[in-house]
Amino acid sequence: MNAATDAGQQLEIKKTWRYYLGLILFVLSMVLPLIVTTVANLLRLSPAISTALIGVSLAGGPEVLLIAAAAVMGKENLDHLFSSLGRWAKDLIKWDQVSAARYRVGVWMMVFSVLISVATYYIFAKDLVVGDQLGWAYYVTTGGDILFTISFFVLGSEFWAKLQALFQYNARLVAENSGHTGD
């Protein structure tokens, strides 16, 4: 399929109420666990009912909503949605093209995540586990670990090459001449 055919198909997609209802169901399937967990905590439901609702929202609920979204949207609209999401993801990631600003953000994300873990483990160690339950510090540390992982993708492929060079004995630094002459 070439670009002209793809562009022609995009024009043929009719965004009727079925498309928008399917899109709402698709988005709802992604945020259902967050919504149900928040509502269950705000309503202060009994632990049994809360657990059951959150369990259904994590396992089963999103899948049913995705199937419903696919059924409502139809094949053409679903293909259009997934191709649009794919193009958006490719534009967002740009693995080989990392700007200086994105690189700085990635480095700060990495530094911040390490600082979170160090502070949590050494300063708030007693808050990692409270009784038989996981404490707030455990969740903060888990968030820091996730941030650390995401930072590698923000930094891009050149950072991976630099990281790999750290573990090679015969790797050499090749610095570009910045025009600065030392005094």
d(CA 138, CA 119): 12
At residue 134, the 3 state secondary structure works out as strand
Residues 9 and 86 in one domain: yes
Residues 6 or more apart in contact with residue 82 via CB below 8 angstroms: none
How many domains does one find in the chain? Answer: 2
d(CA 10, CA 83): 10
Residue 118 forms part of a structural domain: yes
Residue 177 forms part of a structural domain: no
Residue 181 forms part of a structural domain: no
pTM for the full model?
0.47
Residue 41 forms part of a structural domain: yes
Residue 134 forms part of a structural domain: yes
Average pLDDT over the chain reads: 77
Residue 108 has a pLDDT of: 93
- Dihedrals φ, ψ of 86, to 5°? -65, -45
Q: Which domain holds residue 83?
A: 3-93
d(CA 155, CA 57): 33
Residue 8 has a pLDDT of: 45
Residue 151 forms part of a structural domain: yes
Residues 71 and 153 in one domain: no
Instruction: State pLDDT tens for residues 23-41.
Output: 888 888 888 888 887 887 7
Residue 58 forms part of a structural domain: yes
Q: Which of 117, 183, 164 is nearest to 125 (CA)?
A: 117
Residues 114 and 55 in one domain: no
| pLDDT score of 113 more than 70 | yes
